[in-house]
């Protein structure tokens, strides 16, 4: 087998990267002593990809929601064969997800892992689209879209993204709209599949207890060599400042929901991973549960236990989010801005830096105790272009000076957006 590279992670956990003759990359993460396995078969294609070029050189545009639509359709094979039914026979739990940059199909199993690994390999590489099954799916996903239209948590999040981004397609709902999915045809799906589901653009990750040689033997039987193909993506020019600073919408909620986002300049590869780690540390120091600001906001009733933060980073975008419920979202925003300004002015205390660095590092190591955590970390690292377990090395190298410099450049008031869902009728 060509192109085999070994990576040593934590004690007892390693990862082997294998480039299969079909073009597919395998990441094998054996975990001695574990009885279960978790696998992901993923493509570097998500909702932000709005056009493509097939291996034959055909350019095509992609209606919003197509990546999510395609994920749904792959579970249904020729003559109505259902992948979920096949997994049920092996006792595996299967699922899939589409996000802004990736689509992944997965299973978790304790028995018959080899059979489940082959089912995953077969159905993802066996597309079957017809006018009839596409029309049927348009009705199903149309109902799903309408459900999300009524979801306060979904609407407050996309309200923030739509206000924040002017051109980047991350501002568009992953599922699209009823109108855009109506434009999807079998040919649309086949064009997207041939362009983005080319095995050279995909990775198969499995962690836990499995037969590495058995999976490779199955790949030899199932996967024909994929045509050489380099995915071409559109480049979007996005301004540094948000399009709108405040947005508001009314829905049936008991308390107002808010997302306070800070638009940041995107990075790529290892630098994107490093910056997202530092952004999370800054947010934790500013108003994590152990911070004085969190206690002050909580005790005064301005926030509740739903409050939290997230570093949101991907291909061509990056932002930091504080989210929760509050009767006075603007006052919460002002308190957070004041605390960020104080930390810039007075400096981040060494004790807070040490605490948060250990906390985040411990959370990362804890994730490696689960087969899902190891497989997901390997997949995330692969699509960011870093080596398996390199997140650990990146986290260890962050210094207080790095964090202070990051704070000077991020979380700027002029780059902030406040999205609020208010109770209907108020």
CB 61 within 8 A of CB 169: no
| 71 is annotated as an active-site residue | yes
User: Residues of 296-334 as b/e, b for ≥16 C-beta within 10 angstroms?
Assistant: ebeeeebbeeebebbbbbbbbbbbbbbbbbbeebeebbe
Give the three-class secondary structure for 267.
coil
Round to whole Å and give the CA distance between 209 and 37.
5
151-155's contacts with Cβ under 8 Å and 24+ in sequence apart are 152/251, 152/252, 152/253, 152/257, 152/421, 153/257, 155/249, 155/251, 155/421
**Which candidate, 352, 364, 316, 375, places its Cα nearest to that of 106?**
375
Measured in degrees and rounded to the nearest 5, phi and psi for residue 243 equal: -75, -35
Q: Which is catalytic among the residues 71, 238, 264, 339?
A: 71
> 118-148: b or e for each residue (b if 16 or more CB lie within 10 Å)?
bbbbbbbbebbbeeeebeebbeebbeebeee
Contacts of 293 (CB under 8 A, 6+ apart): 286, 287, 335, 336, 339
Task: Kindly tell me the sign of the dihedral angle through the C-alpha atoms of 360, 365, 367, 373.
Answer: positive
Alpha helices per DSSP H over 174-268: 178-181, 186-196, 212-222
Q: How far is CA 285 from the centre of its chain?
A: 24
417, 246 Cβ separation under 8 angstroms: yes
- Residues designated catalytic: 71
């Amino acid at each position: 087998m060509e192109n085999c590279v070994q990576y040593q992670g934590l004690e007892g956990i390693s990862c082997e990267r294998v480039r299969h003759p079909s073009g597919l990359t395998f990441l094998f993460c054996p975990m001695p002593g574990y009885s279960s396995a978790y696998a992901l078969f993923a493509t570097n294609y998500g909702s932000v990809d709005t056009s493509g070029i097939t291996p034959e050189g055909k350019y095509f545009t992609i209606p919003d929601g197509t990546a999510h639509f395609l994920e749904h359709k792959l579970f249904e094979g020729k003559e109505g064969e259902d992948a979920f039914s096949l997994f049920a026979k092996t006792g595996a739990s299967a699922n899939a997800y589409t996000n802004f940059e990736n689509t992944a199909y997965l299973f978790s199993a304790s028995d018959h892992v080899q059979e489940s690994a082959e089912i995953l390999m077969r159905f993802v590489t066996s597309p079957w689209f017809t006018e009839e099954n596409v029309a049927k799916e348009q009705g199903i996903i149309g109902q799903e879209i309408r459900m999300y239209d009524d979801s306060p948590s979904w609407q407050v999040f996309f309200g923030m993204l739509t206000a924040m981004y002017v051109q980047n397609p991350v501002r568009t709902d992953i599922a699209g709209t009823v109108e855009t999915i109506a434009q999807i045809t079998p040919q649309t799906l086949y064009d997207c599949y041939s362009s983005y589901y080319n095995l050279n653009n995909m990775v198969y990750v499995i962690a836990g207890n499995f037969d590495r040689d058995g999976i490779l033997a199955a790949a030899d039987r199932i996967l024909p060599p994929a045509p050489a193909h380099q995915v071409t993506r559109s480049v979007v020019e996005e301004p540094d400042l948000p399009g709108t600073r405040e947005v508001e919408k009314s829905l049936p909620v008991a308390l107002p929901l808010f997302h306070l986002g800070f638009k940041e300049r995107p990075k790529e590869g290892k630098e994107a991973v490093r910056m997202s780690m530092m952004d999370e540390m800054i947010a934790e120091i500013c108003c994590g549960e152990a911070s004085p600001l969190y206690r002050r906001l909580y005790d005064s009733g301005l926030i509740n236990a739903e409050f939290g933060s997230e570093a949101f980073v991907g291909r061509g975008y990056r932002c930091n989010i504080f989210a929760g419920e509050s009767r006075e979202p603007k006052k919460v925003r002002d308190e957070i801005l004041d605390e960020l300004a104080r930390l810039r002015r007075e400096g981040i205390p060494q004790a807070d830096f040490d605490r948060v660095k250990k906390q985040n590092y411990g959370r990362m190591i804890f994730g490696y105790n689960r087969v899902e955590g190891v497989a997901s970390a390997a997949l995330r690292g692969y699509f960011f272009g870093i080596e398996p377990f390199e997140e650990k090395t990146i986290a260890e190298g962050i210094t207080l000076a790095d964090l202070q410099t990051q704070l000077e450049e991020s979380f700027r008031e002029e780059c902030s957006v406040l999205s609020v869902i208010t109770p209907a009728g108020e």
